[in-house]
Structure 1
Amino acid sequence: MPTSRRSVLASAAAAPIASTVASTVGQAQRPAAAGAPSIVKPLPPERFVDFGTNAEMRWDSVDPRRYLTPQADLFVRNHTATPTIDAATYRLRVFGDGLREARSEADAVSLSLRDLRRLPRTRLTAVHECTGNGRSFFASQQGQTVSGTAWRLGSVGTVEWEGVRLRTVLRRLGLDRDAVSIMATGLDDPFRSGTTDYGRVRRPFPVTKGLDDALLAWGANGQPLLPDHGFPLRLVLPGWIGIASIKWLGSLEVATRELTSPWNTTFYRMTGGDYPADSPPLTVNPVRSAWELPLPAILAAGRTHTLTGRAWSGAAPIARVDVSLDGGATWRRADLDDRHPHGHHGHHRRDRGDRGHGWTQFSVRWPKPRPGSYQLLARATDRAGRTQPDVSPLNAQGYFFDAVVKHPVTVV
C-alpha cells in the first residue's frame, strides 16, 4: 500500500463504512427497442425526450411540490455510452507533480470506494445543468442556427449530492505549493468524432476550485448514484457547467502547470457568432428561469391560476424573479420560496460550504384571465447582480442560452 494512501486511511475520521453497491450496476437494463442503447435507465416518453446518447427531462413533468430532481428523472448527457463498473474493484487513481510526493501515472495513489467512504462525508445541494440547456431557443426565438442537441429547458436538475470534499482528499495526500491545475478523467469509452479519437472524456479545473467546494460524490438524494449519473463515483463542481463534473471518475492528475484537454480548448468554449476566437473556456453557469408549464400551455378561462417556476444561477442564489403575463407590457415581482425542503437526511451534517447552489422556486397568481393568446415571461436576477437578458449572444455551439424565454399560453 502506498505511503500516501496509508496516511489517508490513518487520518480518516471514524465513520461507518456504507456497503458498496455494485449490484445497482446492470439493473434496470432497458430493452433494445426502448430507445438509446447508450443509456441504461428507463426513458418513459411522458418524462423524457430521447436524443440517442442524450435524454432530456420534459420540463412539464416536473412536480412543483418536489424540490429535488429524482435521479430517475434527471437528464442524461453522454459522449459515448454508460459504462458498467464494479464498485468492489473500482479505484480512483491520483497522481501528478502537483502532489507533495510527486507521482507518475504508473505510480498513482489508488483509492477504493471504501477508502473514500471512511473520510468525513457531507451532502451538498446544487443545480446540475448541461451547457447547452435552452439551445433550441437560439433557433425558435432568435432565428439563429447553432449545432448540438436541441435541448429545451430540461437538461437541468437540482440534486443533493453525497460524498467527500475533494480538499479533504488532497490535503491528506499532500499538495505541492505550486499546484495549479487538476485534470479529471472519466472511465467511459473514448470519444470519437469523424476520424478523430479525442480519448476519454476529461477536463481540467483550477486547484482553487478543488480546494473550495468540489465534491467526490457517490450518492444522490440519499441513494447510490445510478449508472447513467456516474456510479460509483463522480466529480461535482457546484455552479459550473455539467461537463466539468466528470462522471465515472477514474483519475485525477494534479499538476504544477496549466493542464488542457479538447473539452476546454475545442469544446465548451464560445466560438463564432458574437465571440472572439480567444474566448476562455466556460466555467460558471449563467442565470436562467423556467415556468412549470407545457410549452405551449393551455389554461382554463374564468378561474384564478397559481403559476409556478424555478430560477437558478451558477454564481449566486436567486435574489428576485420578475414576471410578465402579457408579453412584457407589464411586470410584477414573483413570490420566492427559499425554504429548500430537502433536509430530510438528519444523520448527515449539512456542510457549511453549501452556499445555496440549488434553484429557487417562484410563483405568481393570475386572477381569472380572459380567453386569448398570451406570452409569459420570467426574468431572474441573482445576488451577484446578474440578470437574464432579452437576447442571448450567438455562438456556434449554442451554449448558454440565458435570455428570457417567451412562453406561449392559450386561455380557453
Structure 2
Amino acid sequence: MPLDLSDESRYDRARLRQWAHGRARSAGVARRDLLRLFAAGAAGAAGVTVAGPLGVGAGTAEAATLPGVVKPLPPELFTVRGTNAETNFAALRGTGPLTPVDRFFVRNHTVTPRLTAAQWKLTVWGDGLRGEPVDFSYERLRELPAVERTLFIECAGNGRSFYTTQQAQQVTGTAWTLGAIGVARWRGARLSDVLRRAGLRRDAVDVLPRGLDDEVVTNGVNLGRVRRPLPVSKALDNVILAYEMNGEPLPPDHGGPVRVVVPDWVGISSIKWVGDIEVSASALYTPWNTDLYRLFGPDQPPEGSAPLTRQTLKSAFELELGARVPVHRTRLLTGRSWSGAAPVHRVDVSTDGGRRWQRARLHDTPRRGGWVRWSVPWTPRATGAAALLARATDATGRTQPETTPHNTQGYLFDAVVRHPVTVV
C-alpha cells in the first residue's frame, strides 16, 4: 500500500498560498529584495557551465585542495565545483553502506568556519517560546538523550547537469552529476528535546535554524547567513542536532561542531554549523525558500512551486562516466539507489541503452533514509559506445521516469541517467 504523504503535501500548498498572498514574515531580508530575487529566480537567467558531453563541469585533475574547505580533495575522490566538492561516485565502490568522511561531498555557500566545541553555543529564541532566549552549550546538548540514525544528505541540485546533457535544457547552478549525496551514521540530540526545554509554545508555527558560516551576498543583496524554516510538525518529528558522524566528532566541512540533520528533505534544510534557532508564531520566509529551492519554469506553475521539501528518487553506477570496459569479459556492475519518499525495493539495469532490462540484486535491506547497493553481471559482446541505465522503484510504487519536468534552477532531477561507456 502506498505511503501517505499528505501531511507534507498540505504544508507545501499552505506555504505557497502564504507566500503568494504576502501572509508571512521575512526573516532578515526586506520583502522588496525577496521579490526582486524571486523575479530573478523565476526568469532563470543563465545556464550552467558544462564542460564536455559528460557534464564534468569545473573540476580539474590537478585540484587537491579548495580554499575554504578543510579536508583534502584528491582528484580520484572529488571533482571541485566552485566552492563545492562532488564525490566521484566510482570512489564509493567497495566502501560499504556508509560514505567515508574522506569521500563525503562538500556543499558550501561560502567557506568552512573553524569552530571548536568550547566556542560553540546554540541560542533558541523567538515569539514561539514561552519566555526568554535559552542557550545550550556543547556539553549541555550532549547531556540530552542521544539518538543515532543512518541517513542520507543530498543537495537539491544533485544530477543538475543532466538537464543539459540529456534533456538539452538550460538551467542555473552548480553542474553536479550524481555525487552530491552521502550517507552517514549521525548521532546527536533530538531537536524536539531542545525545543521543549526552551519552552516551545503550542501556537508556534515555524522553526528557523541559522548557520554560523559567512553571510551570503548575491545580485547585490546581502542574504545573511544560510537559514531555512521547518514547520514545527517536522521539527518535532525526527530532526537531529548532530555532533557525531560515523562514530567521530562532526568534522568542520560537514557542519561541526553541530549541524541540523533533516531526514528525507533537500540538503539545504540540514543547516551546517547551526548557531541559533528562531521559533516563530507566524510563517517565516528567507531567500532559501523563496527565490531559491523552489521550482520555476515552463513546466511549473506560473507563480513557481511551493518550497522544496522531500527529496526525490535516483540511481547511480559506481563507475566513471565514459569508462572503457573490455569486450567479452564479464564484470560486475555495481551502484546505489535511494528515495526521499520510501525504501527502494527494486532496481532494474539496462546495458543496451534501454532496450532490455534485468533486475539487479540488492545487497542491503531496503529502508527509508538510506540507499540500497545493488549489482548485476555484464559481459559486453561488441565494441563501441554503449549506455548503461539503472532504474529504481520505491515502496510508494514510483519508478524513475524517462525525463524530469524542466525547472530553471535545475533541482530534483530524477530521470534515468544514461551512463556512457566505451567497450574496447
Structure-1-length-normalised TM-score: 0.85
Deviation at 1:34, TM superposition (A): 5.0
Q: Percent identity?
A: 54
5 Å-filtered alignment, 1:148-167, equals 148-167=173-192
Q: Counterpart in 2 of 1:311?
A: 337
Q: Does 1:365 align with 2:362?
A: no
Q: Does 1:290 align with 2:316?
A: yes
Q: Counterpart in 1 of 2:206?
A: 181
Which of residues 254, 261, 270 is equivalent to 2:279? 254
Q: Does 1:120 align with 2:132?
A: no
Give the aligned residue type for 2:390.
A
- Structure 1 runs of 4+ off > 6 angstroms? none
| CA deviation string 1:215-242 (max 9, x = no partner) | 0000100111111110100000011111
Q: Counterpart in 2 of 1:79?
A: 109
Unpaired segments of 5 or more residues in structure 2? 1-62
Residue aligned with 1:376, SS: strand
Residue aligned with 2:196, SS: helix
| CA deviation string 1:23-64 (max 9, x = no partner) | xxxxxxxxxx95421211111111111123111111121133
Which of residues 380, 387, 390 is equivalent to 2:399? 387
Q: Counterpart in 1 of 2:48?
A: none
Q: 1: CA distance between counterparts of 2:395 and 2:85?
A: 31
Q: 2: CA distance between counterparts of 1:173 and 1:92?
A: 11
Q: Is the 8 A contact 1:64 1:308 kept in 2?
A: no
Residue aligned with 2:110, SS: coil
Q: 2: CA distance between counterparts of 1:65 and 1:259?
A: 40
Q: Counterpart in 2 of 1:398?
A: 410
Q: 1: CA distance between counterparts of 2:134 and 2:101?
A: 31
Question: Paired residues, what number?
Answer: 361
Which of residues 30, 34, 43 is equivalent to 2:73? 43
Q: Is the 8 A contact 2:70 2:253 kept in 1?
A: yes
Call closer, same or farther: CA 1:230–1:370 in 2, change over 3 Å. Answer: same
Give the aligned residue type for 1:249.
V
Residue aligned with 2:334, SS: strand
5 Å-filtered alignment, 1:3-18, equals none
| CA deviation string 1:194-214 (max 9, x = no partner) | 311001111001111111110
Q: Counterpart in 2 of 1:242?
A: 267
Deviation at 1:172, TM superposition (A): 2.9
Q: Does 1:64 align with 2:94?
A: yes
Structure-2-length-normalised TM-score: 0.82
Call closer, same or farther: CA 1:225–1:322 in 2, change over 3 Å. Answer: same
| CA deviation string 1:269-319 (max 9, x = no partner) | 101231122310001000000011110122122222211110001111102
Unpaired segments of 5 or more residues in structure 1? 1-32, 341-354
Q: 2: CA distance between counterparts of 1:128 and 1:364?
A: 26
Q: Does 1:102 align with 2:131?
A: yes
Q: Is the 8 A contact 1:64 1:292 kept in 2?
A: no
Q: Greater shift after overlay, 317-326 or 212-221?
A: 317-326
What RMSD, in angstroms, separates the aligned Cα atoms of the two structures? 1.5
| CA deviation string 1:153-180 (max 9, x = no partner) | 1111111111011112223333211112
Give the aligned residue type for 1:202.
R
Q: Greater shift after overlay, 290-299 or 169-178?
A: 169-178
Q: Greater shift after overlay, 131-140 or 47-56?
A: 47-56
Residue aligned with 2:131, SS: coil
Q: 1: CA distance between counterparts of 2:201 and 2:64?
A: 50
Residue aligned with 2:152, SS: strand
Q: 1: CA distance between counterparts of 2:248 and 2:398?
A: 34
Q: 1: CA distance between counterparts of 2:421 and 2:65?
A: 31
Q: 2: CA distance between counterparts of 1:190 and 1:338?
A: 41
Q: 2: CA distance between counterparts of 1:42 and 1:65?
A: 18
Q: 1: CA distance between counterparts of 2:270 and 2:400?
A: 24
Q: Counterpart in 2 of 1:21?
A: none
Give the aligned residue type for 1:125.
T
Q: Counterpart in 2 of 1:225?
A: 250
Give the aligned residue type for 1:96.
G
Q: Is the 8 A contact 1:230 1:247 kept in 2?
A: yes
Q: Is the 8 A contact 1:35 1:52 kept in 2?
A: no
Residue aligned with 2:236, SS: helix
Q: Counterpart in 1 of 2:83?
A: 53
Q: Is the 8 A contact 2:380 2:423 kept in 1?
A: no
Residue aligned with 1:198, SS: strand
Q: 1: CA distance between counterparts of 2:120 and 2:274?
A: 10
Deviation at 1:368, TM superposition (A): 5.4
Deviation at 1:366, TM superposition (A): 1.6
Q: Does 1:191 align with 2:216?
A: yes
